[in-house]
A and B are shown apart, each in its own frame.
Chain A
Amino acid sequence: MKPAIVALALAAGISTATQALPVTEAQIQASFFPYQTESVPQVPELAPGSVINAGNVDKVMAYLDPAMYQFVKNGDYEITVGETTSFGLHQSYIDATRKYASQAELGAKTGEITAPGAGRPFPQEPSMDDPRAGEKLAWNYKYGYNWGDSAAIMPFYWYMKDMESGKVERTFKFNFNFLNYSRRTAQDPVPEISPNPSELFRGTYAMVLEPFDVKDTQLLIHKFQNDVKNDNAYLYLGFQRRVRRLSSGQTTDAFLGTDIMIEDFEGYGGRISDMKWTYKGTKWLLSPMYNHNDMALASEPVESDGYQFVDFTGTGTCFPKITWQLRKTYVLWSEPVDPNHPVGRREHYVDAQTFIIPRNITYDRNGAMWKTFTIGQSHPDHHLPQNKGKGVAIDDSFSMVDMQANHCTTGQFKGIIDPKLSPESRFTVQNMRASGR
């Protein structure tokens, strides 16, 4: 395409397909090992062990996202700083990126991509001059290593809390399982499970263990490789003893009445095509990333193997009792295409090394701050013994605070990277029926 035509297309707001670009080894190294190629800013107030509170937060305001700054400034939460550490992803994912990334290109429309194989599709450093840089970051997130090829959270506790009183209104206990059908790198088969007639991308299976009124409920979500296609979702209701098909388009529904929309899952659980994505720059920010085993952990709930969950603190016990570390972060905005969407925009603070999204801020349609989502990440080598060396940033704690409703939902994970826990047979409708009670 001639430059003049490109300019005209951009001026008219028309996307065009991007061309695949060669990826250099230097770009791979910079993308996966940023702390070897760049220096972490040396800020005295952010030395490991420092505590950021209402009294000193203004000195480090530049290193906090606006919502977290506000919480600390208001005295809702104090942040303890930890040492910045490398969360190196699994070598197989890096190798897949090296092999396939030069073939990745965006389609003409948002949500369209050609990215064969596996790995990070766009490892190049994002550029403010690239009008589709935000979209590329979104794809890097969606095709990120995330939980790896499969994982289980067993168990997974969710607490709904009144932020003023700290009263726990409801507690849910789940088991969650994840399985990538395609873009697999570490667990056989790679890169795809076959047969896969509907070209599934990812499966998520959840079973509710408590409380009694929703016990034995099972949820199965199939995401397709085609981003534009809505998920297929199935619900087994214990009291009906059958599988119901769900209409899956209402991703802004409050999941089980918690403060979390389905669209919020893992930082962003919707379709790429549902949003306009904008890259807003790179920052060094404090992120909730830590070594689980080094934290002051909760004494309850008790696990038979001695595992302890992350504790919660601050106003309403709505905040994880963890350390935060200074990390290279991409600031990514998503604005819903649908004018009736309740969200005005989300600010995603994307970890540059792992492409997980440990911090999110949601604004309402009036531009007011609405919710803020913290997903605490543990290094796998400092978690359960079986997670050591798995190259996965382990989702380990979460907090979704609805600042307008003064309400929060917090979560405690026991994440396990073990393919035996998430066999393909678990992600079928028939499994829901066979294991239903």
Chain B
Amino acid sequence: MRAGNSNLLPHALGLAVALGSLSMTASAADTSIHGFAENATYFRDGVGLSKFRNTGQLEILKPLETSGGGWYNVSVNAVLRATYDGVYDLNDEEFGEDAQQQYLGSNWHPNEDVSNQALTPGVPVPCENDPTLCNNLSGYMDEDSNDLRTPDFNDEWDFVRELYIDASRNVGDDQLSIRLGKQQVVWGRTDLFRVLDTINPVDYSRHNIYDELEDIRIPQWMLKADLLMGPNEVFDDMNFQLVWNFDKFRPNNLGTCGQSYSIVDAGCFFSSYIGFPDSFPVADYAGSLIPIIHDVKLPEHSLQNTQIGLKWEGVYGDATFSLNTLRYRQQMPSLHYRAGAVPGLPALDGVFDIHFPQVNLFGGSLDYYDMTTDATWRIEAAYTNGEELARDTDGHKQTDMARYVIGFDKNLMIPALGSTSAFLLSAQVFGQHVLEHESDMPDAEKNWTGTLLFKGFYMHNRLSPQLVLAHDVKAAATAIAPSISFQPDNHWLFNFGFNVKEGGNKKFPWSVAAANGDSSGQWEPLARFTNGPIGVANQEDEVQLTIRYGF
């Protein structure tokens, strides 16, 4: 199980004191309480029930009156969430601790390679089935069955999704706005992709890449301070922002083996073993099974390991822009190879350690309204150093990275489609360039993913069909997600859709297979990166129904 955040309280209290003489009493304004109850039931082709997620969420806002200190607009905000996913009880043959794989990657590729002879199937929910793996993965992907069923009720108290205090005060002619507490901080202007939006880690186990980021970002204890300077002779608006993430580092949740969503099937790879035949010529290795993961090296929760970001943002004419810099930890795991005593062979107690290296990000974003086309253009770019990517030899390489998104949004009146509301057309191209690429990296040196959203509105916007397309160019993988939502009144929402993926056909050579005489492309373990989250989910075609009652 994950360790708790015992250091958290002193940080938070210290910052609260630093806010000054903030004497607060409950305001005459009413406490605002809203929320929803939701059931999401998904069926997967050939598998059956893949999600029976029941969520209750409460959002509470309490304005406070202040006396002294010059603070105003003070409020306490809380978001509480409880989730129970019944799929682990209703379809326990496919998901959960008893979900056995015939071979590693059986949920996305055939069993035809040397790689599948060398690697064992992933152990589902290791902490229920394999104490060694559970120990090796301690702190990361070490959920037990109850964690899968009720993921919000863990040692990090994730059922408290957000809990923060807002306060503002004047500083000269400017306004200082503070948000302190467990929160989400969102940078950038991009949908789906995370170029600048990298402050909070993400829980992909909830529904791969397809849920709103708001619901899958993992909130962190942070201080966000904005100095709002307003207009000047040049800019229509200007702002400086400081973000200090003083929470214990948490990586992205990729989904434990046995969960219904395990992005790029990483969870099962991390809970598998590499096997050596009895005839292997080195005595200690003959007939042995070596865990893929030896240990998870989570950074210590210390002041030096906290994460900090700065943003300068403004409005100039028809353009809004930002310049951003962030020192943070890579949220995706990086596998560091552990050499054994025998040259060319891994350590007997585990092949890789998982690390989360320090990363420096420099980036910016811009959006611009073009009156000629009556369209909005969005650009977001980031350069990072310190990231580590997977490669065949040594498991990883540190490389500088460049990522960018160009987006286009337009509202269109289309009378021929019988609606008095404008249709939304939104297209994006996401590019990723590995600046120090090596031939044994399964990630393409340059790759692009395109997305398209077309959304319409009927019946006074209560009926809304939409089509979402995403295509990963180098992976040759496509996701198609048509859906329709209906709101009969202020409370109820019904959403029905399909989520269909194509792709997952790329192989990538593996040196271990080559050493065994097969230097051709393999499915395991590296092609998961080549095929990406869309391609690896190629057998996760689903029909999805969500019913929500909001209040």
Interface residues of A (CB under 8 A from B): 160, 169-171, 195-198, 200, 209-213, 215, 222, 229-230, 232, 234, 239-250, 252-254, 256-259, 304, 342, 407, 424-425, 428-431, 433-435, 437
The winner among B315, B374, B375 for most chain A CB atoms within 10 A is: B315
With a CB–CB cut-off of 8 A, which chain B residues contact A211?
A: 490-491, 550
> What residues on A are CB-neighbors of B412 within 8 Å?
250
Closest 8 CB pairs of A and B: A257-B461, A249-B374, A212-B550, A253-B422, A430-B239, A257-B460, A211-B490, A245-B376
Q: Which residue of A lies closest to B377 (CB)?
A: A245
The reply to whether the CB of B436 lies closer than 8 angstroms to some CB of chain A is no
Q: Are B410 and A247 in contact (CB under 8 A)?
A: yes
Contacts of B489 in A (CB 8 A): 169-170
Binds A, one of B46-54, B131-139, B225-233, B504-512: B225-233
Is B289 in contact with chain A by the CB < 8 A criterion? no
Docked-complex contact A229 and B374, CB < 8 angstroms: no
* B175 and A241 within 8 A (CB): no
Least CB distance, A175 to chain B, in whole angstroms: 12
B460 contacts A170, CB within 8 Å?
yes
Q: Is the CB of B415 within 8 A of A245?
A: no
Beta-carbon contact of A437 and B61 below 8 Å: yes
Report if B30 contacts A (CB, 8 A). Answer: yes
Are B490 and A248 interface neighbours, CB within 8 A? Answer: no
Q: Is the CB of A160 within 8 A of B460?
A: yes
A245 and B409: CB pair below 8 A? yes
Known: A195-B232, A198-B236, A245-B409. A215 touches B462 (CB 8 A): no
* A430-B420 in contact given A230-B374, A247-B374, A424-B230 (Cβ < 8 Å): no
Query: Shortest CB–CB separation between residue A421 and chain B, in angstroms?
Result: 13
Measured in the bound complex, the distance between the Cα atoms of B315 and A239 in whole Å is 23
Q: How far is the CB of A226 from chain B (nearest CB, A)?
A: 11
List B154-210 residues whose CB lies under 8 Å from chain A: 166, 168, 175, 177, 184, 186, 188-189, 191
- How long is the Cα–Cα vector from A230 to B374 in the complex, in angstroms? 9
Q: Mark B206-221, 1 if CB is under 8 A from A, else 0.
A: 0000001110000000
- Least CB distance from A228 to B in Å reads 9
Q: Are B177 and A213 in contact (CB under 8 A)?
A: no
Q: Which of B166, B175, B409, B421 contacts A247 (CB 8 A)?
A: B409
| A239 CB contacts on chain B under 8 angstroms | 212, 214
Q: With CB as the reference atom, state the residue of chain B lying closest to A402.
A: B420
**Which residues from 58 to 116 on chain B have a C-beta closer than 8 Å to any C-beta of chain A?**
59, 61, 73, 77
Return the CB mask of B404-434 against A: 1 if under 8 Å, else 0: 0000011111010000111000000000000
Complex Cα distance, B226 from A431, in Å, reads: 10
Q: Are A342 and B235 in touch, CB under 8 angstroms?
A: no
Range for the number of chain B residues in contact with chain A: 35 or more
Contacts of A259 in B (CB 8 A): 460
* CB-defined A-B contacts under 8 Å, sample of 12: A195-B231, A195-B232, A222-B236, A243-B320, A250-B422, A252-B413, A257-B461, A428-B228, A429-B313, A429-B320, A430-B239, A433-B313
In angstroms, Cα B258 to Cα A2, docked, is: 88
- CB contact between B550 and one of A213, A230, A253 (< 8 Å): that residue: A213
A110–B368 CA distance with the chains assembled, in angstroms: 27
Q: Does residue B28 face the partner (Cβ distance < 8 Å to A)?
A: yes
Contacts of A242 in B (CB 8 A): 186, 188-189
- A247 and B550 contact, CB distance less than 8 A: no
Query: Which residue from chain B places its CB closest to the CB of A231 in the assembled complex?
Result: B369
Residues of B within 8 A of A437 (CB): 59, 61, 77
New A-B contacts (19) at CB < 8 Å, excluding given A245-B409, A258-B460: A169-B488, A170-B462, A211-B550, A230-B374, A232-B369, A239-B212, A245-B368, A245-B378, A250-B411, A253-B422, A257-B459, A257-B460, A257-B461, A342-B415, A425-B175, A429-B320, A434-B226, A435-B73, A435-B166
Give the distance in Å from the alpha carbon of A254 to the alpha carbon of B419 in the complex.
9
Known: A171-B490, A197-B231. A257 touches B61 (CB 8 A): no
Bound state CA distance, A434 and B318, in angstroms?
21
Q: Distance in Å from the Cβ of B70 to the closest Cβ of chain A?
A: 15
Tell whether, in the assembled complex, residue A241 and residue B376 are in contact, meaning their CB atoms are under 8 Å apart: no
Docked complex Cα distance between A239 and B186 (Å): 11
**CB < 8 Å neighbour of A256 from B61, B374, B461, B493:** B461
Residues on B with beta carbons closer than 8 Å to the beta carbon of A429:
237, 313, 315, 320
Least CB distance from B485 to A in Å reads: 10
Residue of B nearest to A409 (CB): B460
Q: Are B413's CB and A250's CB within 8 A?
A: yes
Check B392 for interface membership: any CB of A closer than 8 A. no
B446 on interface, CB distance cutoff 8 Å: no
B229 (CB) vs chain A CBs: closest residue: A430
**B34 within 8 A of partner (CB):** yes
Asked if B35 is at the interface of the complex by the 8 Å CB criterion, the answer is: yes
Chain B nearest Cβ from A98, distance in angstroms = 31
By the criterion CB–CB under 8 Å, are A249 and B371 in contact?
A: yes
Interface positions of B from 365 to 386, Cβ below 8 Å from A: 367-369, 371, 374-376, 378
The reply to whether the CB of B457 lies closer than 8 angstroms to some CB of chain A is yes
With both beta carbons as reference points, the residue of chain A lying nearest to B461 in the complex is identified as A257
User: What mask results when residues 471 to 506 of chain B are scored 1 for a CB within 8 Å of chain A, else 0?
Assistant: 000000000000000011111010000000000000
B521 CB → nearest A CB, Å: 39
B188, B461, B462, most chain A CB atoms within 10 A: B461
B36: interface (CB < 8 Å): yes
* Contact status of A248 and B369, CB under 8 A, knowing A170-B489, A437-B77: yes
